[in-house]
């Protein structure tokens, strides 16, 4: 029976954690930083060389720092991470300098990547080695891409052979794979021992690895034979052998599986942890619900940003960095808007003769975009969940078009009544109705095709999807509405 050495380390000192800590503490930090800056500004207004004013500033600065340090020491690392993410870079670095060294590692693991880089830049080599020296192999692998190579090399010297092998293994897997998120802390037992022996072994451990809901049963070659739920261990007779009560039917992951697929499996089967096996059936790690929640959160954030054509960035990043992130899709959006305007300009004669069309055509474009956005959201989510296959694709397309047609017919009746009410023209109302239905079908078609085509070529299906949808529904919406008006109203 073995357990990774990392799980036998002394427990971390417990720290206060309350759901409202983060925002309340952020407000306190910002207020004390504001007071500190106010004192500094007042002192600077005094005559230069005024030693008394400088002494007052120094005393007040130290008092504020002591108060801030006391506040930070009472917070959970996740709350400290939230505060650092919510401050401009200069203030962030000032607060980071006050965080206790014993919390550095936990905070670095909690903060977003774009904040972590700036924090690591502010630390000297000795502090980085001290912060990362006690990390588990899987945690160190998460930070390794952001750490200087010499720091990683120095930390590796302090690892055991087993930990060094685990680190190299974790760093060798693709970023979005199960291998990149698995950890190596787990309890293993043999199938030929009794439950009493297992219980005695567990009592000798200082603590169980986090989220341990099952014990893994392996042979002498570490090949996974089954799992032993803790609940079954506690209620079964102590003299019973492990093989008699273990589950031989279990879900196992491969290190090269997608982390999104693993998240789907956890959601589907209500898992707390799952073993990770290599191609030879050897147990090499496990994935826990904590890892999966992180994956879900990151995927959700990336999807929300991708739909607007954005990548993750520091909200206080320099203007130049923000421009590089946002400009490409904004420029593309400008081109699409110009195309829509060009389409509308080709019907200048129609609009000049029937001015009311200028007020109605934005409704046609807007409703088409909203309809397409609904379809696109459903498709992107279905793709993320792996529910779309070649066998059900055409059925899904037909269903979306039919639903859109039905909704369009109902909505277009309301739009037609509105058009008739302001124009007193049945012909305009009918054109409005037909154009709206057609543009909603265009939006639904684009909402299906854009994510599917991007996914087919291995691209993020959400990236820039809203921009492309707006381009299609605006340009074609104007063309359909004004084209029908030209044909039937002139």
Counting DSSP H helices and E strands in the chain, the numbers are 22, 6
Chain CA centroid to CA 30, Å: 26
Which CATH architecture group holds 187-307?
Roll (3.10)
- 297-308 average pLDDT score: 72
pLDDT of residue 48: 54
The answer to which of 10-19, 425-434, 470-479 has the lowest mean pLDDT is 10-19
| Sequence-separated (6 or more) residues with CB below 8 Å from residue 204 | none
Element at 299 (helix H, strand E): helix 289-307
pLDDT of residue 311: 64
Q: What percent of the chain has pLDDT over 90?
A: 32
Res. 154: pLDDT tops 70: yes
Tokens of 319: 């203007």
pLDDT of residue 8: 42
Within 316-425, where are the H helices? Answer: 319-345, 348-353, 356-384, 393-423
pLDDT of residue 307: 61
Superfamily per CATH, domain 319-489? SLC41 divalent cation transporters, integral membrane domain (1.10.357.20)
Q: Convert the pLDDT of each residue in 307-320 to its tens digit.
A: 666 666 666 666 67
Q: What is the DSSP letter of 273?
A: E
Contact 115, 85 (CB under 8 A): yes
Distances 250 to 101, 217, 246, 420 between C-alpha atoms, Å = 42, 12, 10, 64
pLDDT of residue 209: 92
Higher pLDDT, 209 or 45: 209
Tokens of 149: 């190579």
pLDDT of residue 257: 94
Q: Count the Cβ atoms, other than its own, within 10 Å of residue 252.
A: 15
pLDDT of residue 161: 86
The answer to which of 117-126, 273-282, 299-308, 385-394 has the lowest mean pLDDT is 299-308
- 196-222 average pLDDT score: 93
- 34-61 average pLDDT score: 68
Nearest-angstrom CA–CA distance, 352 and 292: 58
Q: Convert the pLDDT of each residue in 137-153 to its tens digit.
A: 888 888 888 888 888 88
pLDDT of residue 45: 65
What separation, in Å, do the N-terminal and C-terminal C-alpha atoms of the chain show? 87
* Nearest CA among 125, 153, 123, 124 for reference residue 140: 153
Q: For all residues of the chain together, what is the average pLDDT?
A: 84
Distances 101 to 104, 121, 293, 460 between C-alpha atoms, Å = 5, 16, 27, 39
- 237-253 average pLDDT score: 94
Nearest-angstrom CA–CA distance, 111 and 401: 43
Tokens of 168: 């190299």
* Nearest CA among 220, 190, 244, 163 for reference residue 1: 190
What value does the CA radius of gyration of the chain take, rounded to a whole number of Å? 30
SS3 content of the chain, % helix, strand, coil (to 5): 65, 5, 25
- 423-439 average pLDDT score: 92
Tokens of 81: 């991470």
- 217-236 average pLDDT score: 94
pLDDT of residue 17: 44
Phi, psi dihedrals of residue 4, rounded to the nearest 5° = -60, 150
Res. 34: pLDDT tops 60: yes
Contact 310, 442 (CB under 8 A): no
pLDDT of residue 13: 42
pLDDT of residue 220: 92
Res. 11: pLDDT tops 50: no
Res. 484: pLDDT tops 90: yes
Q: Convert the pLDDT of each residue in 438-461 to its tens digit.
A: 999 999 999 888 888 888 887 778
Own/partner contacts of 404-410, CB < 8 Å, gap of 24 or more, are 404/371, 404/375, 404/440, 404/441, 404/443, 404/444, 405/437, 405/440, 405/441, 407/371, 407/440, 408/371, 408/436, 408/437, 408/440, 408/441, 409/437
Contact 217, 224 (CB under 8 A): yes
Confidence of residue 14 (pLDDT cuts 50, 70, 90): very low
Confidence of residue 274 (pLDDT cuts 50, 70, 90): very high
Confidence of residue 179 (pLDDT cuts 50, 70, 90): very high
Res. 480: pLDDT tops 90: yes
Each domain of the chain, given as residue ranges in start order, spans: 2-123, 187-307, 319-489
pLDDT of residue 26: 85
Confidence of residue 197 (pLDDT cuts 50, 70, 90): very high
Within 236-288, where are the H helices? Answer: 242-245, 259-269
Contact 5, 160 (CB under 8 A): yes
Phi, psi dihedrals of residue 236, rounded to the nearest 5° = -90, 160
- 387-410 average pLDDT score: 85
Q: Convert the pLDDT of each residue in 384-396 to its tens digit.
A: 767 787 778 788 8
Contact 350, 357 (CB under 8 A): yes
Confidence of residue 5 (pLDDT cuts 50, 70, 90): very low
* Nearest CA among 325, 330, 303, 298 for reference residue 313: 325
pLDDT of residue 313: 60
Element at 114 (helix H, strand E): helix 113-122
């Amino acid at each position: 029976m073995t357990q990774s050495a990392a799980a036998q380390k002394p427990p971390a000192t417990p720290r206060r954690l309350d759901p409202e800590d983060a925002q309340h503490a952020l407000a306190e930090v910002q207020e004390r930083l504001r007071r500190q800056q106010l004192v500094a500004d007042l002192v600077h207004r005094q005559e230069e060389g005024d030693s008394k004013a400088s002494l007052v500033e120094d005393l007040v600065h130290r008092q504020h720092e002591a108060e801030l340090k006391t506040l930070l020491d009472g917070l959970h690392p996740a709350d400290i991470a939230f505060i650092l993410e919510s401050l401009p870079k200069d203030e962030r670095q000032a607060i980071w300098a006050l965080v206790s060294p014993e919390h550095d590692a936990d905070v670095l693991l909690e903060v977003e990547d774009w904040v972590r880089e700036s924090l690591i830049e502010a630390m000297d080599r000795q502090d980085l080695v001290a912060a990362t020296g006690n990390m588990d192999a899987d945690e160190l692998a998460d930070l390794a891409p952001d750490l200087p190579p010499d720091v990683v090399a120095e930390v590796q010297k302090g690892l055991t052979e087993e930990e060094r092998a685990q680190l190299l293994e974790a760093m060798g897997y693709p970023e979005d794979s199960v291998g990149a998120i698995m950890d190596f802390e787990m309890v293993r037992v043999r199938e030929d021992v009794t439950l009493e022996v297992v219980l005695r072994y567990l009592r000798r451990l200082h603590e169980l690895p986090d989220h341990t809901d099952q014990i893994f049963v392996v042979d002498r070659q570490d090949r996974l034979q089954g799992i032993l739920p803790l609940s079954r261990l506690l209620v079964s007779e102590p003299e019973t052998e492990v093989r008699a009560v273990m589950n031989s039917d279990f879900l196992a992951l491969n290190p090269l599986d997608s982390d999104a697929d693993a998240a789907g499996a956890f959601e589907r089967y209500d898992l707390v942890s799952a073993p990770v096996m290599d191609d030879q059936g050897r147990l090499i790690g496990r994935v826990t619900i904590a890892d999966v929640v992180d994956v879900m959160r990151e995927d959700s954030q990336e999807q929300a940003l991708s739909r607007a054509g954005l990548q993750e960035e520091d909200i206080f990043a320099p203007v130049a960095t923000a421009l590089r992130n946002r400009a490409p899709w904004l420029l593309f959006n400008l081109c699409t808007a110009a195309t829509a305007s060009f389409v509308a300009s080709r019907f200048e004669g129609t609009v000049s003769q029937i001015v009311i069309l200028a007020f109605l055509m934005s409704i046609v474009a807007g409703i088409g975009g909203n309809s397409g956005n609904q379809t696109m959201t459903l498709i992107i989510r279905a793709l993320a969940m792996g529910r779309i296959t070649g066998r059900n694709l055409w059925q899904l397309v037909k269903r979306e078009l039919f639903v859109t047609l039905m909704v369009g017919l109902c909505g277009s009746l309301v739009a037609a009544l509105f058009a008739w009410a302001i124009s007193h023209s049945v012909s305009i109302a009918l054109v409005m109705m037909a154009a709206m239905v057609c543009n909603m079908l265009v939006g639904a078609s684009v909402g299906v095709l854009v994510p599917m085509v991007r996914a087919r070529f291995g691209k993020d299906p959400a990236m820039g999807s809203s921009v492309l949808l707006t381009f299609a529904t605006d340009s074609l919406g104007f063309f359909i509405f004004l084209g029908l008006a030209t044909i039937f109203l002139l």
